[in-house]
Amino acid sequence: MNQKGLTLLELIVVWIIVTIAVMLLLPRIITWSQNYRLRKATRDIASVLRTVQAEAVSNNAEYRVCLDTGAGSYVIHRSSEGKWVQEGGLHALPPGIRIKEITL
């Protein structure tokens, strides 16, 4: 007798094995995902700071990045004739980033 296919019992056993594997791996996947998002957001903030630094050097001007901890945003200012002028608009911090405190 030539059998082509699977029995119901074989399908149930495979389904149980897959379910157990997913349940064991799910916490690691969630942790990895959270760490990945945090690292990406950190790289985004560092990139903004490096870009502002490059602009300051190339334009021979003072720049600053002002962080609003309450709103979760930042704005870039450039020194012009003794005054701080806003460059661009308000930028939101990357998702998952909240700044609790700024110390100098």
CA 40, CA 51: separation in Å to the nearest integer?
16
pLDDT of residue 68: 84
Beta strands in the chain (DSSP E): 63-68, 73-80, 83-92
Q: Which residue has the higher pLDDT, 98 or 87?
A: 87
Residue matched to tokens 């870009």: 51
Mean of the pLDDT values across residues 39-61? 89
What pTM was computed for the model?
0.64
pLDDT of residue 48: 87
The answer, yes or no, to whether residue 4 has pLDDT greater than 70, is yes
pLDDT of residue 2: 60
Q: What are the residues facing 85 on neighbouring strands?
A: 78
The answer, yes or no, to whether residue 1 has pLDDT greater than 70, is no
pLDDT of residue 5: 76
